[in-house]
Structure formats: C-alpha cells, structure tokens
Amino acid sequence: MSTPLVLTYVGFFVMAAITLGGALMAVSARNLIRAALGLIIALIGIAGIYFVLEAEFVAVVQILVYVGAISILILFAVMLTRGLMKRDLPAQNAQWIAAAFISLAMFAALLYVALSTNWRAVETQVAGDLIPKLGTELMTTYLLPFEAVSLLLLAALVGAIVIARE
C-alpha cells in the first residue's frame, strides 16, 4: 500500500515545523541549555524528514548519533564551561544585524536556485530493504572513503584526548 499524498504532506509539514522551531530556539535562546534543547528538537524533526523521505537507516543513525551522542557532548560542554556568561552580555554580538541580513540574502539566493532550476526529479519507488544494498556499495564503490573514516575517527579520538586533558 502506498502512502496517500495528503499524509506525506502532513508528515512533511509537521516535521518541518518541529525542525525550524527547534532551530530558531537553538540560535535565539540566551540560556545555552535551552539552546541545546532546541537543537535536539530540530535534530529529531530532521530524523522525521528522513522517515518521510523513506531513508529509514539514515533516520535511525540521525537519532542514534546526533540526538543520542552529539547533543550529549554539547550539553556536557555547556556544563563544563558554566557560569561565565553571567555578566549581562547579550547573547548576540554587535554584528547581529549584518549577520541577519547576510542570512536572509543567502536564503533568498538559495530559494531562487531551488525554485528556478529544473532538477529533472523523477517519481521513484524505494525497492524494499535498502540495508544490504547499502552494505554492498559501502564495501565496493565507497570502500576507500570507508577506510578513511577509520583514520578520521582515530585522529579525532587522539586529538580530543590530547587537547582536552590537562
């Protein structure tokens, strides 16, 4: 049974609202814990978008890695560097008007490209279970990047320990 179009729209708009609401909270909240909470909400909404797009594996990875691990890392970082923004500084710096202007201009440019380009999008059906196919491509076409990931993780592991320890 294929998904009724109206349900796809409902799913998309609910998840888009969660994502954008969380993102706005993340960049505007003065309290950093609240900003991190907004980030987590946005990341969950993005996982929902992946479900709507039928990329289930990436959606689960998003929840596992982003919501489960990266957001915890950010929360620890907030707690580790606590109590220093207590002076009444605004959360935004002096150039926030210019930053808002640049962001809006960027949005306008991206919107123009997204709407005016002919993407040659086609209606495709996702054929069953993609995970075996993902494994095959990871082990053949993308074998070299896959091995490079291990080096990246090694470098990150050693780097984080050397930098963060006293």
Using CB under 8 A, which residues numbered 51 to 70 contact another protein?
51-55, 57-58, 61-62, 64-66, 68-70
Q: Which of residues 1-30 bind another protein (CB under 8 A)?
A: 1-5, 7-12, 14, 16, 19-20, 23-24, 26-27
Instruction: Note whether 146 binds another protein by CB under 8 A.
Output: yes
DSSP 122-138: ------S--HHHHHHHH
Told to check if 33 binds another protein by CB under 8 A, we report: no
The one-letter amino acid code at 81 reads T
Q: Which of residues 116-145 bind another protein (CB under 8 A)?
A: 119-124, 126, 130-143, 145
Per CB under 8 A, does 85 bind another protein? yes
Q: How far is 47 from 55, CA to CA, in rounded Å?
A: 9
| Of 24, 26, 21, 10, the residue nearest 45 (C-alpha) | 21
Instruction: Tell me if 40 sits within 8 A of 70, measured CB to CB.
Output: no
